[in-house]
Structure 1
Amino acid sequence: MTDYVGRFAPSPSGPLHAGSLAAALASWLDARAQRGRWLLRIEDVDTPRTVPGAAERIMMQLRELGLHWDGEVVWQSRRGAAYQQAFDALAAQGRVYGCGCTRREIADSALRGPAAPGADGERPYPGTCRHGLPPGRQARAWRVRMPEGVERYTDRWLGPQEQDVAQAVGDIAIRRADGLWAYQLAVVVDDAAQGVTDVVRGADLLGSTARQRVLGRLLGLPPLRYLHVPLVMDPVSGLKLSKQNGAPPIDTAAPLAALESAWRALGFAPQEAHDVPDFLARATETWARRFPLP
C-alpha cells in the first residue's frame, strides 16, 4: 500500500449510468495503479435530490462490476457536525457573512455586471451583501469571502489550470438558503477527513476545483491532486449523460461489456479481456503507464 487515497463520491439521485461508471472506473483504476486505497462516499447532503434506495443500488452495481471499495462507506447526511466546525473556523477568520439575495436577484445582478459567464454559463456572485445585509433583509444563505488572486494547479489529464476565483465565481455559498450545507464545503471537509490525496472525477466538475482548493487552504488543509476525465455524451442529443437527462442505468448482468464500454469512453483501446478480473488487471496496467504520479 502507498499513501495514495482516492474516492468515488456519487450522489444518490439514481443508479449508475454510463457517465458515472466511466468516472468510477477511472477513479478505481487510478487508486489500484498506485497500490492505494479507494474509498466510497455517498454525497447525500442535498437531501431533496436523494432518491430512496439509490445509494444501495449504486453499491450493488459497483460490487457486481468488481469495483470493490476499501473501508466503511461515508454518508454526508450524517456529517453535519463536521461541516458546522468548518463553518465556525471560517467565521472565526471573519470570512463568513449572511446573504439575503434570492436566486433571481443574484442572476439579475450578475447579468447587469461586467463579468462574463464562465465556460459552464456560471456568473459570479456580485457581492451584493458582502458589506452587510440591505435594510429589512435577513440572511438566507451564508457565503465565504474569497481572497483575491489566481489559483493555479496542474490537472493530471488536462494539464495546467488557473482561475481567479474571486473574479470568476465570487464569494461562494457554504450554507444554502434552505438550510442545507453546500456541496463545495462538504466535499472539501470530507476529502480531508478521509485522508484523500487524489480526486479523479468527470470534467463537469473541473470548474469547482479552484474554489475547492481555495476553501481548503482557508481551512488549513493540504492540497490534493486532481484528474478530470472526459464526459460521456449522448450520441443523439449531444448532452452529457446524466440522471437528469434520463440516462439508463448500467446493465450489470453483462459486467464485462459495461466495463469495456466505459473504458472506451475514456479514450482507450479495447482490452480484449476474458472476464472482469482479467479486464481490471489489464486496464490497471495500462492506466499505470498512462498516468504515473509525479
Structure 2
Amino acid sequence: MARNLWIGAPGRLREIRQAAKSWDRTAELNVTEFKALEGRVTTFAPTRTIRRLKLSFEWLEPDDAQHLARLARRVGTGRGPLVVLDPASVNLLDPYQAAGQSDIPGGWDHWFTMNGDIALARNADGVTTVDCRDAAAAVGWIHGVWTGWPVVPGMRASWLLPEGWDPAVATAQLDWKAADGKYLSSSHAIGASVTAVAPAGAAFVTPVARPGAVGLFGLAGGCLTLDEEPVAHALGDGCPAMVVTAYTDVPAARLPYRNVSLDLVEVRDAAL
C-alpha cells in the first residue's frame, strides 16, 4: 500500500506525510458472552466485524492539521462518508470479497457480470464461482459504497486475479472513473495481474477479470493494492467508508504546530 495516509472526501484526498504517533486499527468484534448457571458459556456475535481507526499526531504541520479539522467538523466535505487509504493495508478488497465469500448466494453484493453469458454461484465450500459460458465475458468487483476504490492521479494500482485463472488466456483489467462515476479509460494485460498508473481525473478504480475461456472459475485469492506488489490470498483489509466520531485539536508548545487525534468508524452510509 501507499506508505503514507491518504484521507478526505472522494476525489479530494490529501496525503498526510507525517507518521502518526499512535495508530490503532483494531476491528470491533462485538462478541457477547452468556454464562449459564451450570457454567457453560455461549457467545453471540454479528456476522461481520467493523473497522475502527484511532490516529494521533504530534507537531502536525498547520496545513495538515487544518485538513483534518475540516474533515472532523464536516466543513466543505459534503454529507457523505470519508475515504481513508490506510498505509498498513495490503489488500483493498473487502475481507469476505478477497476470500470469495458472500452473504448472498448469487454474490451480487461483491461482484457484477458483463459482456456475455456468465453467472455467479456459491459452491459447496461457500466460495463464489463464475460459470463462464462465453470466453469474452467478464466479472467486476463492487466496492459497496462508491463506484470503485478511491485513488489519486499518479498512484500505481496493481490487480492480481483470483487463484486458478489461466494466465495464458485470462485478462486482468482496471477501469478508471471520475469523481462523478463517469468511465474514463481502462488498463489491461493478458496474464495473472496488471499494474497501471491512475490517469488524470481518476478518482476511482474498478478491478475487472476476463477468464478468456469457458468453465468454472473461483473468486478467492484476488488482491488489489496501491504502490505495492499484490499478494495472492492476502487478507482483505478493505477500504471502508468512514466517519469521524471523535476529534481533539491541541496547540503544540511551539505554534503553529498542532497535536491532533481522530477516531473513525466504518459505515455503510453517513446521514449527517
Fold match by TM threshold 0.5: no
TM-score w.r.t. the length of structure 1 is: 0.25
TM-score w.r.t. the length of structure 2 is: 0.26
Higher share in helix: 1
Higher share in strand: 2
